[in-house]
Each structure stands twice: as structure tokens, then as C-alpha cells.
Amino acid sequence: MIHRIAIKEFEKHLFKGKVILVYGARQVGKTTLVKQLLSKYTHEVSAISGDEPDIREIFKNSTSTQLKQYIGKHKILFIDEAQRIENIGLSLKLIVDNFSDIQVIATGSSAFELADKTSETLTGRKYVIKLYPISFEEMVLHTNLIEEKRNLEQRLIYGYYPEIVSKPNENRELLTLLADSYLYKDILLLDHIKKPKLLEKILKALALQVGIQVSYNEIANLVDANKKTVEKYIDLLEKTFVIFSLPAFSRNVRNELKKSQKIYFYDNGIRNALIGNFNSIHTRTDIGALWENFIISERLKYLNNHNIKKDFYFWRTTQQQEIDFIEEDINGLTAYEFKWSAKKKPKFSKTFSKAYSNATFKVVNASNFVDFLV
């Protein structure tokens, strides 16, 4: 069992009179995390799934009295795949408002669906925990630093989904199935998706543009769709934890890009499965994109796991001057350049350093990345 760092944050929220919502893509380990946490409360837990038709019917229009009868003497109600239940937000509100001694935990693989169904009814009544694929740091804690550094090239290709990590001999087949699960079980079940083939084309286009400034117009032309449809599909892909975006940073310089963005995948393995490329990094021309996607997604996992709040950006000008990654917090700006090879010595933009003279500059490569992620 790989210990997930998020369990510490989880434990802090137990029995505080609020619902705990756990968001994350399918197969990242949400159910395993909850069961691991609740193992010490075995006889006090009522565990149900929104995938079950009778459960959906019970919760559809139940009163607080009926819900209490169903929960019985259990102190914890665990609802897996809660977004499948109609009126789930109202049901959870009734439990929290009327039975403060009952801890409700609900998981959902689509932030769009579950958040949408609980946003208004659970205002001020919920804690939200986001769970991503296993992180570099979690694997270091599970084995050791030397072992995980040895596996770095493997992670760049196959990623960190729990099943992929635990079954390395089946990684290609499992990743292909997992990518299909993303496409056909979560996103395509949403009423907003009318053209599955178009969604596949958009995903592949994004996978081939990792680390590159994304233009909705260019993608729309590439996949033969209108810009608004592309924007809607990309928004849903973010809300179902397939991708995330970095906005452009702009404060002082006249020719800074202001409304552009870069898009990355939460997992390298999913990205590679979408383009059907599991070749060794030594034969690939996209090692720079693989490294950039890996290091940024791992940084986001690290900060999320430790509940560290920062804002993230990239920076670019119309003259093609660029900073790969910028973090901003109360201490100011830190600008990062990501290079796979330690032999390459990047030069930071003089335009940026002049405009943001108080910024700190750092280079992250395959030789020094550990401090950035652990």
C-alpha cells in the first residue's frame, strides 16, 4: 500500500461538522484513500456507491428522517461516485444540518458534476480534497530516493497512476485502457459532449502541444470545429482532471502576452497513451516537452499535497522571450527554466529580469530536480 500524503489533510477534517468531498480522476486512488483512512473505524462506517441504482433511488428525494433511518447508528457515511446521485447536494445538506455527529465523505471523479451539484447547497458546509496520481515524493517515501531516481525515465514515459506503478509489466496495455476510460466513461457521459470523435482529436492535438502556447483558433482549424466548441471541451477536460492550464503572466512589459495559455496533462503516461508513443526517451524528439510536463505536474502535486498556496504562470513576449514557469506567493515571484540536460545553461530574459527585478531565478534539470519535488 503506497501511503498518500493527502491522508494527513483528510484526517484533520474528520468530525468537524462538514462534508468532506474528494475529487480526482478515475483510478487515482480516491476509494483506496478513504478506505485506508477509515480502516480504524470499521464498525462505524456505512459505505455505499452512487453507481448502484437502488442507492440513487434512496437518495433521490429522501427526507432527513428517512436518511437517518438509512444511516442507522453509523457515525460515518461514505458515498463513492456521489455525482451519480440526483439531488446529492440537498441530501448531504440535510445530513450535515440535522445530524452534526455524522461524518459524511463523498468522492467524485468529475469536479464538474459533483461540484455543480453541491456548490450552492453546501456553501460553508464542506472541505474539498483533490487527489492526483501518485507523486514523486510519495514514491520516494514508499521506497527510497535512490530507487525512485533510477525509475525517472520510466515515469517520464508511463507516469504515476497507481495501477501502472504496481504493474509495470502491463503498463502499455493498462495505460491505453485508462486513456479510453477518461474518454468514454467520464467525459463522454456528460450531456455537454455530443461528438466523441471531436473530443479525441482535441485531446491528441493538446498532447502534441504540451509546453507550447495553445491557440483555440489553431486547434479549431486543426480539428475542423468552431472555437467555442473547442473552448467548451477543453474546459470540461480540465474539470475532469485530464489537463490543467497555465495562464500568461503580465504586469509591466508592453509586449507581454496577456491572454494566452499553456496546457499540460496531470500524468505523462496518459499524454503518451493519447499519441501512442511509449518509445524510450533516448529516441524521442519531445524529451523537452516530457520533462516540462512531468516537472510542472509533479510540482502541482507537491504543493497540493502539502496545502501550499501559490499562483502559477508562464511568461512570454511577442519577441518570443519566454520563462517556462513562474510561481507567485506572498514572498514574491520565482521564475523557473526546465531543462532535461544539466549541460544546457539557459539564459533568463533580460527583459523579464529588468521588469521584475525582485524575482528569484532558478533552473531545474535532471540533476537537481529533487529539491523542487520533495
| Residue ranges of domains in the chain | 6-130, 136-373
- Tell me how many helices (H) and strands (E) the chain has: 18, 12
Answer yes or no: same fold for 6-130 and 136-373.
Answer: no
**pLDDT for position 112:** 53
pLDDT of residue 224: 92
Which CATH number applies to 136-373?
1.10.10.10
**pLDDT value at position 139?**
98
Answer whether CATH 3.40.50.300 is correct for domain 6-130. Answer: yes
Q: Tell me the C-alpha distance between 24 and 132, whole Å.
A: 6
Residue numbers in the chain where pLDDT is lower than 50: none
Element (H, E) at 362: strand 360-365
Q: Which strand ranges, in their side-by-side order, compose the sheet holding 360-365?
A: 311-316, 322-329, 332-339, 360-365
